[in-house]
Every structure is written in C-alpha cells, then in structure tokens.
Amino acid sequence: LLCLLSGLITDTIGEVETYTDDLRSKFGPYTQELQERLVTEVSTLTGKLRNDMEETKGKLLQYSRDTQLVIDHNVDNVKSQFNLLLRKMKKRLNKDSEELRQKLRAYAEEMRTNAGEKVSSIRQNLEPYFSNVHEKGQQRIQALQQAIGEQSRMVHQQLSSRVQELQKQFQERLQEVKNAFDQAVDKLRQLVNPILEDIGVQAETGVEETNQEA
C-alpha cells in the first residue's frame, strides 16, 4: 500500500506538471498573464496535494509500526483506528484531486475564451488530456481501493489469528489453573483422610470401652 501511494504521488504530480506545461504552450505568449496565474495557482494546489499525500503515507507507515505495539492490548480499537484512517485518507485525496481538476478546467475555459479563433482546434487538443487524466485517475483510485481492501483483509486476518492465539493461550492458562486446583485438592485430601480415619478409630474405641463399662 505504501509503495502504491509513493507511485501515485510521483505519477500524479508529474502528470499535472506535464499537462500544465503543455497547456501553456498551446496558447502562446498573448496569454502571458493568464499563464503566470495558472503556474502560480496550480503550483500551490499541487504542493498541497503532494503534502496531503505524503502526510497520508507517513500516517500509514506510522500506523503499521504502531499496530504491533497495540494489537496485544485492544484488538477492536486497532481495527477502528485503521478504518478511520483509510476513510480520512480517501476523503482528503479525493477532495484535493477534485480541487486541482476544477482549477485546471477553469483555466482551460478561460484560455479558450481569450483565444478566440483557436477555440475549435484547442478544444480538440485538450479533450484527449481531460479524458486521459480522468481515465488514469479512475485507474489509480481503483488500484488504491483494491490495495486498501487487501490491506484491510490482511489486518483482519492478522487480528483474527491474534484473537485465536489469545483464546488458545487463555484456554491453556485456564487448564493450568484447573490442574493446579485439582492437585491442591488431592493434596488436601491426602492430608485430611488419615486424620479422619484416626478420628473414626478413636470414636469406635471409645464406644467399645463405654459398652464394656456398662
């Protein structure tokens, strides 16, 4: 999952930079001011996207390290924290990606308006980019969802295995306690039986002596 996120970060930022450069070249110097705004704002958005994705990657890495430390103490809490982290990650990445996509589309529309006579040819040139970005974005999201699902299954299997192990250990300890208790009872019986037998013998002797005196 971490490798997939690293690849997603590199590919996404690289494609945005390539797309932005190509978009600038298609409109020429007469839109210099608009190009400068495009570069500035898209740079800010891609920086935010990169930071959020890197932060998510870091949290997943830290979570992986922490999982083994807390799994022995609270299994349900581990599963809950993991699911919450995945939901937050998907929500943040989707929000950043959508914000960047809308910004790029807005600049493309503004450039189309300013370009005048080039509108038709520019639209034809840009549509493949939008289609390509959309298609690759869907593929990445699907791959990420699959990876998240696989990670969830792995965690579930690990937790299930750990629960079974804990149950087995508990049963073993319970059996050890039972055996120790049985042994203690046997020892107590061994100590008490001779005393009871002596008391019984003494009682019978006392009865016989009483009968003889009578």
Q: Tens place of pLDDT for every residue, the chain, 214 residues? A: 556 556 666 766 676 677 667 666 665 555 666 667 666 766 776 677 677 667 766 766 666 666 555 555 555 565 666 667 666 766 766 676 666 667 666 666 665 555 554 545 555 655 665 566 556 666 766 776 676 667 667 766 766 676 677 667 756 765 665 666 566 656 666 666 666 566 555 555 655 665 666 5
What pLDDT is recorded for position 73?
56
CB atoms within 10 A of CB 100: 20
Task: Report the alpha-carbon distance of residue 120 to residue 97 in Å, rounded.
Answer: 27
Task: Report the alpha-carbon distance of residue 75 to residue 152 in Å, rounded.
Answer: 14
Task: Report the alpha-carbon distance of residue 69 to residue 72 in Å, rounded.
Answer: 7
Its pTM surpasses 0.85: no
Question: Are the C-beta atoms of 184 and 41 separated by less than 8 Å?
Answer: no
